[in-house]
Structure 1
Amino acid sequence: MKQTLSLKANFYNELKGDLAIWLVIALLAAFSLMAIYSSTETLAYKERGGNTEYYLIKHFLILAVGLCFTYVCHLMYYMRYSILAPLLLYISIGLLICTLLFGPEVNDARRWLAIPGIGITFQSSDLAKIALIIYIARSIAFKQDYIKDFGSAFVPIIVPVLIVCGLIAPADLSSAVILFVTCLTMMFIGRVDMKYISILIVFGIMLLAALIGLGYLFPEFIRVETWTSRINEFVNDPVGGYQIEQAKIAIAEGGWFGVGPGQSTQDNFLPSPYADFIYAIICEEYGLLGGATIILLYLFLVFRCMRLVTRSPKTFGAMLSIGLCLSLVLQAFMHIAISVHLVPVTGLTLPMVSMGGTSIIFTCISFGIILSVSKYIEKVKEKSELAMAGS
């Protein structure tokens, strides 16, 4: 009995930071494994001769590697990420340019880069999102004394936002919009003047208009026709296209409590049910109860990160945690909105739940950095409590 209690104590000591966030990660990972196992059945028969365990084991291993990254990142003192921010940003911009120019074209978009020698591909935008958020958090923190100044504070913040979002948008407009909104929110929380934020919104609209214009000149780089066709389909077809119709059927069949784990039938009809429409599969198998649980987990994550914002003794920690949290949660809610036909289809995955390789890794890194901030806040709290007890 004592040995069991000792093991539990050691386990909790190893998991520093907010245990509630660790719980959110664990529950999302559990949902992910269950949903991936059932949603890849058709894919397994097509690609692996009916070996339905193949994709489950592969996804489990990726999750395990991702959680190792979470653990390592949460051990690192979060202020070190501030030191790395400029280098990460420059590397990300270079990789985004290489992706646009030399990346393989998949589904009419250049989003991926291959790592030479090992044959692994990754989305350069995943790294760019984290790098930009860290850099913006650093800039807001360092410029707090003159944050209302246009030339000294606003311009150095807005330039990297426009560059990174502008480079992501041609191949992945939805991710660029989510990142742009995340940066806007960080600036608002960081006390940047509202009139300058309004200017940034106007710049964003102008940048989008410029991209659309360039898209007609260079269609091989910018997917204007894809954007307009999806918007037209969303506006003109109240039922939705084939994908949305199948997603709605899946959600409707699930009812309140679902058809049961592994009993989905819509995974045979939905394109990429293990990625772009995994929320619909969760609703089919676990009902509205399961779907609501997913939403509540992401909302709870926002609540815990807002708690970090109010308790962080350093501005950088507050901005970093809320920025990374918002990027994940906004993507999650956009994915859910697509499944219920509230927004046009964009191909966004559900963070920490959809099947993926490097996307899971970068999501886990984001969680690790958030936990690094919470770990430091807990240490400060413990020191202050000890000081008060000693006095």
Structure 2
Amino acid sequence: MNTATITGRIKASAALVDPNRYGRSDRSAMGRWFWEIDRVLLLLLAVLIGFGLIAVAAASPAAAHRYSGGSVRFDELHYFYRQIAWIAISMPVMIAISMQPRDPLRRLSVIGALVCTVALALVPVLGEEVNGARRWLNLGVGQFQPSEFLKPFFVVSMAWLLSLRETDKSLPIFSLSAILLGIVAILLMRQPDFGSTIIFGCVWIAMLAIAGLNLRILVGLGIAGMIGVILAYFFYDVATARIDGFLFGEGDNFQVENALRTLTAGGLFGMGPGGGTRKFGLPEAQTDYIFSVIGEEFGLIACMAVALLYLAIIARVLIKLLDEENSFAILAAAGLVIQFGLQALINMAVNVQIAPSKGMTLPFISYGGSSMLALSIAMGLLLAFTRRNPYLTRSPYVVKWGGESIKA
């Protein structure tokens, strides 16, 4: 082998292990994304998705047994393999969205919110009924749940709307946002989907608080929300059945009672992967009650770790927003992570029997194509709105204390 050949191979090898690749001097699209993205948040999401895949693998035999009628031909890991496929589709979507600038994502979200709202209006007419509710549209190649995709688009659109108040305080922004929320709430309750209605309402109030709405008005909205739940109890059959079952033990409480027994059956450390037996009695082990499967097979300590992981994601985003100067980015990112955390909280509360059954999945843990893809869009938007240019220095907060200005 001659000297020129050896030199060429050395240069080729050096290019593969170039220490400057994705370094701070890299100005390529991927290089800028790598340094601007919140890598801690990305890592937390990756850990959550990985744990979710393990949980679906644990719940898959129970779901397969239930929906196959005990047929031996039905693969016990059927839902696990399908979840891998959905993750393979969803993760590139999340990364692709996280690489986009904020302005195109704002426009995309407004268009997405309009499309999903129209689809939501078509669900009671064209949707397929599953477990007594019409929430899905059949697209031939699969089912599409408009409410799941509407969640992130609604939050970003609402953030854009509320941020307009900075440019013109005379605009009736709060009234307009209330009207839009009312339209979505009516469409959701027709399905019926009372749980998602509550999430949309709570996130809206939280975003109003962040946008600086008067405290008295916020308190009034909170009271109005409680009155709304009371009225729903008396005039909305779904809410009546769920609340009666939760408070008075009336009706069919098999699901939530069995979920709690399953969750605590494993004790602190669980029965081990594949060792759970009570999960075979759960009606939706792979979706609504997967948190109980985690408790049985991996123990209450694992359940606590999952809860802390959600808390870490929420805390990371809120801390990241402390020095953000763009009001739209603050509202959008805060709204997305509050919605994410609230959905997780409600699912876990149902599993431990401190909230009535809602039919709501555990984010990135539960099985589901629509849920996984919609959450990936939401987290892609969140990653995009929390991106920071490492070459820009942000202005520190200046606080007046004792007549003297100091840096916070």
Is the deviation greater in 291-300 or in 252-261? 252-261
Q: 1:83 to 1:362 in 2, by over 3 A?
A: same
Matching of residues 240-259 of structure 1 within 5 Å:
241-259=253-271
- Establish whether residue 18 from structure 1 lines up as the match of residue 18 from structure 2: no
Assess, with a 3 A threshold, how the Cα gap between structure 1 residues 158 and 225 changes in structure 2: closer, same or farther: closer
Task: Provide the residue aligned with 1:82 in structure 2.
Answer: 106
Matched, 1:128 2:150: yes
Q: Give the distance between the partners of 2:82 and 2:168, measured in 1 at CA.
A: 49
Give structure 2 stretches of 5+ with no counterpart: 1-12, 24-29, 395-408
Which residue of 1 is the match for residue 392 of structure 2?
383
Q: Which moved more, 1:241-250 or 1:357-366?
A: 241-250
Give the one of 158, 162, 168 matched to 2:188. 168
Matches within 5 A, 1:63-102: 63-102=87-126
The answer on whether the counterparts of 1:85 and 1:138 sit within 8 Å (CA) in structure 2 is no
Compare the two structures and name the one with the higher helix fraction. 1
SS in 1 for 2:268: coil
Post-superposition Cα deviations, 1:326-381, rounded to whole Å, max 9, x if no partner, equal 11110101000001111111111101100001111010111111111122xx21x4
What is the distance in 1 between the residues matched to 2:371 and 2:55?
17
Q: What does residue 210 of structure 2 align with?
A: 189
Aligned equivalents of 2:257 and 2:214: distance in 1? 44
Q: How many residues align?
A: 369
Give yes or no for contact 2:350–2:358 (8 Å, CA) kept in 1. yes
Larger radius of gyration: 2
Choose from 372, 381, 388 the match for 1:360: 372
Task: Give secondary structure in 1 for the equivalent of 2:144.
Answer: strand
Q: Please, what TM-score do these two structures have when normalized by structure 1?
A: 0.86
Distance 1:179 1:371, change over 3 A: same
- Aligned partners of 1:8, 1:267: CA distance in 2, in Å? 50
Secondary structure in 2 matching 1:52? coil
Does residue 119 in structure 1 map to residue 141 in structure 2?
yes
Per the TM alignment, residue 279 of structure 1 is displaced from its structure 2 partner at its CA by 0.5
Match of 2:62 in 1: 42
Cα distance in 1 between the residues matched to 2:377 and 2:108: 14
Q: Secondary structure at the match of 2:128?
A: coil
CA contact (8 A) 1:166 1:207 kept: no
Q: Which amino acid aligns with 1:81?
A: L
**Aligned amino acid, residue 349 of structure 2:** A
In the alignment, what sits opposite 1:310? 322
Structure 1 gap segments, 5+ residues each: 216-223, 386-391
Cα separation, 1, equivalents of 2:364 and 2:278: 22
Q: Distance in 2 between matches of 1:249 and 1:56?
A: 24
CA distance in 2: counterparts of 1:276 and 1:330, whole angstroms? 15
The question of whether the paired residues in 2 share the 8 Å contact of 1:162 and 1:204 is answered with: no
Equivalent-residue separation in structure 2 for 1:133 and 1:357 (angstroms) = 21
The answer on whether the counterparts of 2:116 and 2:146 sit within 8 Å (CA) in structure 1 is yes
Q: TM-score scaled to structure 2, two decimals?
A: 0.83
* One-letter amino acid of the structure 1 residue matched with residue 55 of structure 2: A
Contact 1:132 1:160 in 2 (8 A): no
Distance in structure 2 (CA, Å) of the matches to 1:6 and 1:276:
47
